[in-house]
Structure 1
Amino acid sequence: MTGEPRAGVPRARESRDPARAREPRVPTRDVEPRLLRAFVAVSEELHFTRAAARIYVSQQVLSRDVRRLERELGAELFVRTTRQVTLTAEGERLLPYARRVLEAQDDLTAAFARGGGGGAARPLLVDLNSPGLVCGRILERARELAPECELMARFESGLTGAAAEMLAGRLDVSFGRYAGLEPALRARLAQQPVRYEPMAVLLPLGHHLAELEAVPLGALAGESVYAGAGNPRTLEWTDLAHRLFEGRGIEVAPPAPLAVGTDEFGRIMAKNRTPVLVAVGFPAMPEAVLRPLIDPVPLSPVSMVWRKGLVHPGVDALRTAAAELAADEGWLRRPRNGWVPATDALIMMRRD
């Protein structure tokens, strides 16, 4: 008869114990790390669209994975409204466990960076950000130190973008302003300070400041200077520009069309005729001149950055090369008249 237990089979205990009936269901199988990665991304962004972009999936796939995780755990993890996303108490409880699982998975992947049976290490993918910067010299020296390793250059342009690639396992090492990353990203990455790199301005030919050998920062008052605004891969650089320009009457220029490659970037900048904030080692551009900034000398804090737990002889070679070059050439000595944000200066004193 419907609703009656079969002979010899007791009723489910939940029917006699309402308190236990309200407890979350214990998963009957392993939870897929992909679902936990989706959950952590939404937990840290509190925004489904941003979280989807961060882990390179569509918003529909991300929402589906979160719903599946909620079904498997028998618990609601987020409160969703049209205006905001917040964690429930169960979501808050799950978050530290999910992070530990994902960290263990990253450690497992890193432990097998070498080929099976102790063979040669796999190629290490190293983002140099842009040709001509100090990162290229570090890579060259690391190749000399570890000739048995295949260290392959990449040009991701922006540490924010490279950080997402590293955490997704599509890139191993990058360089840039570590302090400009979100704390949730820094928590999963390691860094080694490399250089306080002096900053410069790229000026179109004919600009009234182009005749100067060095441009005082105050001379840019009233100017609109391009610093990557609108590029989601270079958020750390745009943030540094805002900090530098604040109170000096300098504006961060509005977004320009996103250019891929130095040739295309040079074409867009020549067309817009907008000064560009760059590092002193930035490659030459047609129809433009590079001038160092002074009074004060603004410094771009550069770190070598990699995924925590990554074990690879190429990482060791890069770290050694960076330390040697920094010591030999005084890259970590701050000029007396140098400017750098206080938070960056503190982070540049650390070595993971």
Structure 2
Amino acid sequence: MPALPPRRVAQRGPAVGEGRFAARRHPDTRLLRAFVTVAEDLHFTRAAARLYVAQQALSRDIRRLERELGVELFARTTRQVSLTADGERLVPYARRVLDAQDELLAACVPGAGRPALVDLNSPGLLGARILARARELAPECELMARYESGLTGAAAGLLAGSLDASFGRFAGLPAAVRARLAQQPVRYERMAVVLPGDHPLAHLPEVPLGALAGERVYAGAGNPGTREWTELAQRLFEGRGIVLAPPAPLAVGVDEFRRVMAKSRTPVLAVLDFPAMPGTVLRPLVDPVPLSPLSLVWRRGARHPGIDALRAAAAALAAEEGWLRPPPGAWLPDEDRRVMTAGA
């Protein structure tokens, strides 16, 4: 293919606003702001007070701008200051530059103009309390909740920027994903089991893990959004004779949960804060006490006032209620323990 001939660049005259103001370099917006302030007041002392600078410093800035533009902007006498013709011509251009700078800075405020979206997994869990406290701490910030997924499912949204924060077991994410996320330990949640109301173990105030030997317990197997929870359950069940229940359709809502529980009669692994469901009982697990480590998670480097409010709320509640003090002898995988003590 033959080479194309070099493109000829048409010569043009100066655009409107260039001419005598075509400086060798773009003037500093700080100098333009000084110029506009003096142009508005036509008084160096008052202008200096508005800018919180010394009058001598303001005079130096104006002289520097005049040198850079190659024009005189003000006519100065001992009695008054007035704009020259070049100064009058510069005023509207300088104001447009400063307005554009102000708009740019406003647009770059972290989270400006949009709410923070937080995935709480399910209504009634601990994340809802943290969200409520965050709304109290930052009433000017819009914090929106969604209830869609576990942390594995939420991680994709966090990395893509379509989700701002979520909660879950951080150690259960792949190492490559964890490297791109930040986390703040929130609580060691006690694990529990949801049983049909007439289950043989339902009468016990606490259910020893050994009593579940031979039982099939549902822990989200087959749900791609909650793999971190299923993997934690597998570790807990291993060597105790507890069978991980096979994949099943996800029951969404109280009515569906009650229907599926009545039909399958399969115990469900949960946390102690799991909301009450009709026809079932929630019993804490003991011997040992298994813990589910909960972290607040967001994209590493992400900035949003909503994330700041969530972090402050989580830290305050954890301190007030001792959420990060695990009971002696509790069960927790070593990797989770390291993650929870390392912090963000």
Partner of 1:168: 160
Report the secondary structure of 1:175's partner residue.
strand
Report the secondary structure of 1:337's partner residue.
coil
1:206 maps onto 2:198 in alignment? yes
Matched AA of 1:201: V
Partner of 2:89: none
How does the TM-score come out when normalised to structure 1? 0.66
Equivalent of residue 324 in structure 1, options 316, 322, 340: 316
Q: Deviations over 1:177-207 (max 9, x none)?
A: 0000111111111100000000000001211
Matched residues in 1 for 2:128 and 2:260: separation? 25
Which runs of at least 4 in structure 1 moved beyond 6 Å after TM superposition? none
Matched residues in 1 for 2:336 and 2:254: separation? 27
Partner of 2:291: 299
* 1:168-247 alignment, distance < 5 Å: 168-247=160-239
* 1:66-81 alignment, distance < 5 Å: none
1:342 maps onto 2:344 in alignment? no
Partner of 1:263: 255
Matched residues in 1 for 2:254 and 2:343: separation? 32
Greater Cα offset, 265-274 or 183-192: 265-274
* Paired residue total: 244
Matched residues in 2 for 1:293 and 1:225: separation? 13
Matched residues in 1 for 2:140 and 2:219: separation? 39
Shift of 1:303: 0.2
Matched residues in 2 for 1:253 and 1:192: separation? 31
Answer yes or no: is the 8 Å Cα contact 1:226–1:274 preserved in 2.
yes
Equivalent of residue 107 in structure 2, options 96, 116, 132: 116
Partner of 1:106: none
Matched residues in 2 for 1:276 and 1:336: separation? 25
Q: Which runs of 5+ in 1 are unaligned?
A: 7-111
Answer yes or no: is the 8 Å Cα contact 1:197–1:299 preserved in 2.
yes
Report the secondary structure of 2:214's partner residue.
coil
Report the secondary structure of 2:284's partner residue.
strand
Report the secondary structure of 1:233's partner residue.
helix
Shift of 1:276: 0.3
Report the secondary structure of 1:164's partner residue.
helix
How does the TM-score come out when normalised to structure 2? 0.68
Report the secondary structure of 1:314's partner residue.
helix
Shift of 1:261: 3.4
Matched AA of 2:168: G
Partner of 1:41: none
Q: Deviations over 1:45-96 (max 9, x none)?
A: xxxxxxxxxxxxxxxxxxxxxxxxxxxxxxxxxxxxxxxxxxxxxxxxxxxx
* 1:282-293 alignment, distance < 5 Å: 282-293=274-285
1:314 maps onto 2:306 in alignment? yes
Shift of 1:250: 0.4
Shift of 1:267: 2.3
Greater Cα offset, 164-173 or 180-189: 164-173
Shift of 1:348: 0.2
Answer yes or no: is the 8 Å Cα contact 1:190–1:307 preserved in 2.
yes
Partner of 1:99: none
Matched residues in 1 for 2:235 and 2:196: separation? 24
Matched residues in 2 for 1:238 and 1:151: separation? 29
Answer yes or no: is the 8 Å Cα contact 1:222–1:250 preserved in 2.
yes
Greater Cα offset, 116-125 or 243-252: 116-125
Partner of 2:61: none
Partner of 1:157: 149
Answer yes or no: is the 8 Å Cα contact 1:225–1:276 preserved in 2.
yes
1:121–1:351 distance in 2 versus 1, CA, 3 Å: farther
Shift of 1:262: 4.2
Identical-residue share of aligned pairs (%): 70
Partner of 2:94: none
Report the secondary structure of 2:188's partner residue.
strand
Q: Deviations over 1:95-154 (max 9, x none)?
A: xxxxxxxxxxxxxxxxx9x96265944200011111222111111111111000000111
Partner of 1:138: 130
Answer yes or no: is the 8 Å Cα contact 1:198–1:297 preserved in 2.
yes
Matched AA of 1:211: H
Matched residues in 2 for 1:349 and 1:234: separation? 23
* 1:25-40 alignment, distance < 5 Å: none
Q: Deviations over 1:214-248 (max 9, x none)?
A: 10111101111000001000000000000001000
Matched residues in 1 for 2:255 and 2:325: separation? 33
Matched residues in 1 for 2:297 and 2:108: separation? 28
Matched AA of 2:222: G
